[in-house]
Amino acid sequence: MSLVVGLDVGTQSVKLVAYDAAARRVVATHGHSLELIAGDDGSREQRAEWWIGAIRTCFGKLDAASRSRVAAIGVSGQQHGFVPLDAAGQVLAPAKLWCDTSTQRECEEIMDAVGGAQRCVELAGNPILAGYTASKLPWTRKHRPDVYARLATILLPHDYVNFWLTGERWMESGDASGTGWLDVRTRRWSPELLAATDPDRDLSACLPPLVKADASFPIASSIAAELGLPRSVRVSAGGGDNMMAAIGTGNVAPGVLSMSLGTSGTLFAHADHPVVDDAAGWAAFCSSAGGWLPLICTMNCTLATEGVAKAFGFGTRDGDVVMAGTAPGAGGLVMLPFFNGERTPDLPYARGSLHGVDLGNLTCANVYRAAMEGATYALRNGYDALLGAGLRFDAIRLTGGGSHSAAWRQMVADVFGLPVEVPLQAEGAAFGAALQALWAHARATGEKADLATIAREHVLIAPGLSARPDPKDSVAYQGHYRQFLRHLEVARSFYANPPAAGAG
């Protein structure tokens, strides 16, 4: 029987999942780590060839018999990254990533040009936040003028991988809605926001056509030969990692709340209509399943726990053991884990901070717990905005690296007061890309496939990994969460503006 492959091009690694849909079984999972170029100005970049090299490595780990069975590939990619191509399709510069905060001034310039953040919401459904693709264009014009002069095509990370696989350039609405230019209500580019980004150039000429979520394209014969794949393989539209994780956790119908505990933290829900917040309390994105995906994103999640673990000389796989014996509240420590700046709340200039330190509570275990709690509280703060809009949920579907931690699963259940379920396939974005590929391939071969049905049939809940709220700890966390919010209010004023030159 045939296989579908999901590729997840993340910040820390590329992952490959090969799935046998007939047997409902993942037959192989491979990964390859990636480097990150970090600058003191908040810049975060990667070279596009690193992604391709990692993909080659992952396919190289897949046995030849499995490669010969591949029928379709779906690509999930980290959102918001900017991959500039020249007219010949060559990459012109390192890709600026979602976690890049060096372009905050350009965000403000774009929003000022159209009349402010509220006007951006009216035009496209979202303000231009740090990390979004739009601000990377004027930054490139200022700092890499030669690159900007030769720019012919604007691609997002998953778009570039699709381009490498097929030789075709396209975008789909889910990932495209994270550029800041797409009117999520109409799924059309906003001429006003494109003009505000560069009034002297028609940027729409650099944007590939938008395709539907179930679209697919044939793999380039040269790439099929290089990877040892059949020439009949089709590549689905793909999407952003959050959009693919939504599919991979079965979040393709209203009523499900998914949470991803990855480098960034995200909360997202499916809607069959645009869900735009005038106050921009969440990202009003399209989904990669044909609907919409209101989304909360924090820029520091497992990044916080990994940073603490590294500082204290242990690995996050040992984190649950390290923090065993600690209690909610981390002995009085409160961490604001804003090491990369923050998007929710919108504090691009923020930095991480630890509060409540005394001679008795400054232990490795408490600091690690404080990092985990801080990352969880930051997501809860965004969740409160969804509740304020009248949305209600019965359970949380948890994915991402943090979902491997039993302590973190229980903490999420207690802090949110909701039962937690973990899909059997932990790599939600890669698995979602595989399921989208399955859907698109079926459509391409004439089947009347329905993605919601596919998700119900293939997204299984892992036995033994669910967690239910502990009444005592849930009550305790309510007080500690309020303390976190008090520190957050102080941080809002402290980090409202960029630091003075030379300041730490």
Question: How many CB atoms sit inside 10 A of residue 333's CB?
Answer: 23
DSSP label of 217:
E
Residue 394: what pLDDT? 87
Structure tokens at 384: 């409160």
Helix (H, G, I), strand (E, B) or coil at 5: strand
Q: How confident is the model at residue 501 (pLDDT cuts 50, 70, 90)?
A: low
Q: Which residue has the higher pLDDT, 470 or 494?
A: 470
Mean pLDDT on 129-136: 93
Question: Residues 281-318: pLDDT tens digits?
Answer: 889 999 999 999 999 989 899 999 999 999 999 999 99
How far apart (Å, rounded) are the C-alpha atoms in residues 368 and 283? 29
How far apart (Å, rounded) are the C-alpha atoms in residues 26 and 343? 34
Q: Which residue has the higher pLDDT, 391 or 8?
A: 8
Mean pLDDT on 27-39: 97
- Of the candidate CATH numbers 3.30.1450.10, 3.30.420.40, 3.40.50.300, 3.40.50.150, the domain formed by 302-378+471-494 belongs to 3.30.420.40
Residue 256 to residues 166, 249, 306, 326, 396: CA-CA distances in angstroms? Answer: 34, 9, 28, 31, 7
Q: Is the dihedral of CA 210, 259, 438, 97 positive or negative?
A: positive
Mean pLDDT on 124-149: 96
H or E element that contains 366 = helix 364-388
How far apart (Å, rounded) are the C-alpha atoms in residues 100 and 111? 18
Residue 384 to residues 296, 337, 355, 476: CA-CA distances in angstroms? Answer: 10, 19, 23, 18
Mean pLDDT on 38-64: 97
| Whole-structure pTM value | 0.86
19, burial (CB in 10 Å: exposed 0-12, middle 13-18, buried 19+): buried
Residue 338: what pLDDT? 96
Question: Residues 222-251: pLDDT tens digits?
Answer: 999 999 999 999 999 999 998 999 999 999
> Is the pLDDT reported for residue 386 higher than 70?
yes
How far apart (Å, rounded) are the C-alpha atoms in residues 111 and 120? 7
Q: Do domains 251-299+385-421 and 302-378+471-494 have the same CATH topology?
A: yes
Q: Which residue has the higher pLDDT, 323 or 345?
A: 323
Domain covering 251-299+385-421, topology: Nucleotidyltransferase; domain 5 (3.30.420)
User: Where exactly are the structural domains of the chain?
Assistant: 3-244+428-458, 251-299+385-421, 302-378+471-494
Q: How confident is the model at residue 500 (pLDDT cuts 50, 70, 90)?
A: low
Question: Residues 181-207: pLDDT tens digits?
Answer: 999 999 999 999 999 999 999 999 999
Mean pLDDT on 21-44: 96
Q: How confident is the model at residue 405 (pLDDT cuts 50, 70, 90)?
A: very high
Structure tokens at 460: 């299984």
| Helix-then-strand count for the chain, H and E | 18, 24
Residue 281: what pLDDT? 84
* Structure-token match 């229980």, residue found: 410
> Is the pLDDT reported for residue 166 higher than 90?
yes
Mean pLDDT of the chain, nearest integer = 95
> Is the pLDDT reported for residue 504 higher than 60?
no
Question: Residues 65-83: pLDDT tens digits?
Answer: 999 999 999 999 999 999 9
| Catalytic annotation, residues | 241
Q: Which residue has the higher pLDDT, 99 or 72?
A: 72
Alpha helices in 167-220 (DSSP H): 173-176, 191-197
Q: Is the domain defined by 3-244+428-458 classed in CATH 3.40.50.300?
A: no
Residue 469: what pLDDT? 98
| CA-closest candidate to residue 290, choices 257, 252, 244 | 252
Residue 465 to residues 51, 175, 249, 425, 469: CA-CA distances in angstroms? Answer: 32, 30, 14, 12, 13
Residue 502: what pLDDT? 53
